[in-house]
Amino acid sequence: MKLKVVFMGTPDFAVPTLKRLLQETEVVAVYTQPDKPVGRGLQMQPSPVKKVALEAGVPVFTPEKVSLPEEVEKLKSYEADFFVIVAYGQILKLSVIEAPKYGCINIHSSLLPRWRGAAPIHCSLLAGDEETGITTMKIVPKLDAGDMLMQAKTKITDNDTAESLHDRLSVMGADLIMPTLNGMVDGTIKPVVQDESKVTYAHKLTKEMEAISPMKSVREIDLQVRGLNPWPGTRIETTAGLKIKIKTGKPSEKKNVGKTGELVVQGNALLLQCADGAFEITALQEEGKKAVPTSDFLNGIKNRNIPFPQEVKT
């Protein structure tokens, strides 16, 4: 007999796990965040999880607060074996956590206890971690503090961005969910208490984080560009009024192309002189324009009398 599951999740990250559960278990209900206005027309759009659930014919619910007494009674009525939670977007109260037979299982995108909180993927990159991964865990009222059940690791490469890690980890989470649920039922998984002395927190991202200071090292800037891609992104502004978002870039083999803080053109390369070397910007977006490869930008400025080098504001 298939396990009976209630799924709670909202963004793209949660979709692979939901699809796996739809294949392997009886998903009796899906809970997700309410539809939100999207785009310039601000048309109401369902969450990625809601779209998948509706296509599968599973009942979908979007309560503003899932822990209200009437919602808890509905959840109890499913007599579910598990609630599986992946980036749902609401804190669950004890009344919800205790509703399913075997408890609430969460998929968290870090190797707990490192990077509890809102932005673990981004923070693992920003910190220069060599690896990250997925942790399945029991949900408790305290944020990301439950006992760990299973983990899967992945190396962080020099080419990884927050977006590429997001996509890889979302699939890894889906791969880990059934071994976790089955292990909980047959008793082969022994929950591990998190070591509180090793806890770090991944705080929410803010728009203010996008500003780049050329006074930093090339390594720090590379991590910032990759760790904040695609949101909030990274940007620089020169004293001459040039405003660009850095879409992609890489450390340059060249060390000294100008004064620290200068944006320099050398051949087909656009280089930011940092504290200890140069960072090459390979794709960018000028304010009010589309994102383009840097070669297109450099071809375009030839007719605009834009002088280089330019000093970057700090």
210-267 tens-digit pLDDT: 999 999 999 999 999 999 999 999 999 999 999 999 999 999 999 899 999 999 999 8
Residues 190 and 265 in one domain: no
Domain identity same for 90 and 222: no
156 shares its domain with 244? no
Look at residue 111 in the predicted model and tell me its pLDDT: 98
Residues 6+ apart with CB under 8 A from 128: 219, 223
Q: List beta partners, residue 4.
A: 26
The whole-angstrom separation of Cα 260 and Cα 120 is: 31
State the average pLDDT for the chain. 96
- Domain co-membership, 77 together with 47: yes
Bridge partners of 283? Answer: 248, 293
Write down the pTM of the prediction.
0.95
Q: How far apart are CA 148 and CA 150, in angstroms?
A: 6
Spatial distance between the Cα atoms of 177 and 9, rounded to a whole number of angstroms: 14
pLDDT beyond 80 at 39: no
* Predicted confidence band of residue 167 (pLDDT cuts 50, 70, 90): very high
According to DSSP, residue 79 is labeled -
Report the pLDDT value the prediction gives residue 122, as an integer from 0 to 100. 98
Q: Do 87 and 158 lie in a common domain?
A: yes
Residue 43 Ramachandran class (φ > 0 left, ψ -120 to 50 alpha, else beta): beta
Quote the domain boundaries for residue 126. 4-202
Helices (H), the chain: 15-24, 48-56, 69-77, 94-97, 120-126, 162-186, 218-227, 294-301
Q: Residue 238 has what pLDDT? A: 95
Q: Under a CB-based contact definition with an 8 Å cutoff, are residues 8 and 89 in contact?
A: no
In this structure, the answer to whether residues 214 and 194 fall within a common structural domain is no
> Do 250 and 291 fall into the same domain?
yes
In the chain, the number of structural domains is 2
